[in-house]
Amino acid sequence: MMDGDDWYGPDAATFGDRVAAARDAANMTQEQLAKRLGVKLKTLQSWEEDLSEPRANRLSMMAGLLNVSMMWLINGQGEGLSGPLEKETASEEVQTILVELRAMQNKFHAAAEDLGRLEKRLRKTMTEGA
């Protein structure tokens, strides 16, 4: 099982995971955080789903609103959460399932990055051959 220090680290969680966790810890809905940041709900949702990332000014504002450091949001290091809020009350079986889900999510994320690199390489090869 992971210890609390690694739960939101770069190998265990994504930027979106950390945003969602910090927002939950701050007892804010997506709608509330989006409004306070001055962005559309869809924009915040895309950040939490790792489809896009905020610019530096929004990242700084978000870190302040969520009471975490910008570096923690970016890479899980620095001032932030140590683990999920339910960690203390969750059973060992629940924790085991959460760890397994996180590992699976990391594999999917890595596979998506590999697909992106291959697609870029294929496009480059096709344009060079034309």
As a whole-number percent, the residues of the chain with pLDDT over 70 amount to 83
The predicted-structure confidence for 110-123, as pLDDT tens digits, reads as follows 788 888 899 999 99
Task: Name the fold adopted by 4-129.
Answer: 434 Repressor (Amino-terminal Domain) (1.10.260)
* pLDDT value, residue 1: 33
> C-alpha 56: how far from its chain's center?
16
- Helix (H) or strand (E) holding 79, with range, is none
pTM: 0.58
* pLDDT value, residue 82: 66
Q: How far apart are the first and last CA of the chain?
A: 51
Mean pLDDT of 17-39: 92
The predicted-structure confidence for 72-113, as pLDDT tens digits, reads as follows 888 887 777 766 554 455 677 777 787 777 777 777 777 888
Which tokens belong to 72?
A: 């923690």
As a whole-number percent, the residues of the chain with pLDDT over 90 amount to 36
Calpha distance 80→124 (Å, rounded): 40
More confident residue, 25 or 42: 42
